A and B are shown apart, each in its own frame.
Chain A
Amino acid sequence: MATAWYTDAFKNGNGPDGNVPAGAVLCQYTQYTAGSTTGIGDTVYLFRLPKNAVLVDVIVQWDASGSSGTLSLGTCIANSTTGKWDSPTVVQATNIFNVAAVTNSAGRASLTGGFTGTSLLSSALLGTTTALCLGNKFTVETGLYVTFGTAAFPNDADLYFAALYFVDYGADMAYDAG
């Protein structure tokens, strides 16, 4: 049965601080240890980023998984009915990482590349279906969460996640010709 897990950073009653100097790079980090063998569709809610946060990078490390392990990373918002974070509303499950193969080997990934064992992780890191661009600015407070495909990680396997972002209060980040 698919199970939802929540980090303390995600469930904390206080929202992440959005009143910080513009452009200063901030980081949130969390470690997830599988409480049992993860199943298809298991979800771990990781971080909440404040409104106006600009995503710089997400850095992930994982232990060797079981066979056919995959990992996706997506976004969610507070429950659209209750406004609470204990049952968030999904925006898209694969708009950051789209089913990255993490089969049987430890590895690491960031938005700009990664590896599992000796294999390159590449286009899966672009996400899919309204994929988020590098530098995406969240207009509302947004959560990041991971989902596992197939029989991904054994009991006690560790996964580590760090999200880098800054807060931008400006109207745009546009360009002009000439």
Chain B
Amino acid sequence: MAATAYYTDNYKAATVPDSNVPAGLLLAQMVKYTAPTAAYVGDTVYLFRLPANAVLVDILAQFPAGSSVTMSLGTVTYSTGATVSATNIVNAAACTGAGRFSLTGGFQGTTLISDALIGGTVGPGTKFTVDTGILYTNAGAALTADDNVYFIVLYFMDYGADMAYDAG
């Protein structure tokens, strides 16, 4: 079976997520993905859509036990659907035992998940200059039918020109 793309309601909704909110107010989106069949290598789930000027704070995930599972999180340019990178948030984190992770650490079974959570260029504090999607991909024989995976993304809006710092 070919790899399949799945889209959450959050992602497909015609209305963009509200970006006219007070700067700095912490916002959350949550989604539950239930594998309709055994997930295959390269199956993709488009999870969230974040508005331009969103600043990523954290992503939390919960997953069931599976065999030889790795999970990756990446980003998509929403307007074109082009994948920026499939692993620029989380890069092939081993998730063989049931567990959870956030961008600052996690566990699967009784084992630590650590540096796989530093995927690439996107992490806490990344500001998206355009509407951006977040996608999840499986590798290995990942999930069995009806397995549930849960995701929460935390972000806030920043309308300023930058978040730079100055010395002195």
Residues of A within 8 A of B (CB): 21, 23-25, 54, 56-57, 110-113, 120-123, 125-126, 133-135, 166, 168, 172-178
B83 located at the interface, meaning its Cβ lies under 8 Å from any Cβ of chain A in the complex = no
Per the CB 8 Å criterion, the residue count for chain B at the interface is 44
- Residues B100 and A125 in contact, CB atoms below 8 Å apart: yes
- Residues B9 and A172 in contact, CB atoms below 8 Å apart: yes
> Residue on A with the closest CB to B154?
A25
Partner of A113, one of B25, B28, B102, B152: B102
Chain A residues with Cβ below 8 Å from B9 are: 172-176
B98 located at the interface, meaning its Cβ lies under 8 Å from any Cβ of chain A in the complex = yes
- Residues B109 and A176 in contact, CB atoms below 8 Å apart: no
- Residues A23 and B111 in contact, CB atoms below 8 Å apart: no
Partner of B101, one of A112, A120, A173: A112
Please judge, given known A-B contacts A111-B60, A123-B107, whether A134 and B100 are in contact too, CB under 8 Å.
yes
- Residues A133 and B148 in contact, CB atoms below 8 Å apart: yes
Chain B residues with Cβ below 8 Å from A126 are: 62, 98-100
Chain A residues with Cβ below 8 Å from B154 are: 25, 56
- Residues A177 and B36 in contact, CB atoms below 8 Å apart: yes
B85 located at the interface, meaning its Cβ lies under 8 Å from any Cβ of chain A in the complex = no
Please judge, given known A-B contacts A112-B105, A173-B32, whether A56 and B10 are in contact too, CB under 8 Å.
no
Q: Kindly state the separation between the CA atoms of A135 and B32 in the bound complex, as whole angstroms.
A: 8
- Residues A123 and B99 in contact, CB atoms below 8 Å apart: yes
> Residue on B with the closest CB to A21?
B21
Chain B residues with Cβ below 8 Å from A24 are: 21, 25-28
Residues of B within 8 A of A (CB): 4-10, 12, 18, 21, 25-34, 36, 45, 60-62, 97-102, 104-107, 109-112, 148, 150-152, 154
- Residues B29 and A113 in contact, CB atoms below 8 Å apart: no
Chain A residues with Cβ below 8 Å from B97 are: 123
Q: Please report the number of residue pairs spanning A and B whose Cβ atoms sit closer than 8 angstroms.
A: 118
- Residues B12 and A176 in contact, CB atoms below 8 Å apart: yes
- Residues A122 and B111 in contact, CB atoms below 8 Å apart: yes
Q: Kindly state the separation between the CA atoms of A122 and B65 in the bound complex, as whole angstroms.
A: 14
> Residue on B with the closest CB to A133?
B150
10 contacts between A and B (CB under 8 A): A24-B21, A25-B26, A111-B60, A111-B62, A112-B100, A112-B105, A168-B30, A172-B9, A175-B34, A178-B6
- Residues B60 and A57 in contact, CB atoms below 8 Å apart: yes
Partner of A175, one of B6, B26, B107: B6
- Residues B106 and A113 in contact, CB atoms below 8 Å apart: yes
Chain B residues with Cβ below 8 Å from A111 are: 60, 62, 100
Q: Kindly state the separation between the CA atoms of A62 and B145 in the bound complex, as whole angstroms.
A: 39
Partner of A134, one of B12, B45, B150: B150
Chain B residues with Cβ below 8 Å from A177 are: 4, 6-7, 36
Partner of B27, one of A23, A133, A175, A178: A23
Q: Kindly state the separation between the CA atoms of A112 and B103 in the bound complex, as whole angstroms.
A: 9
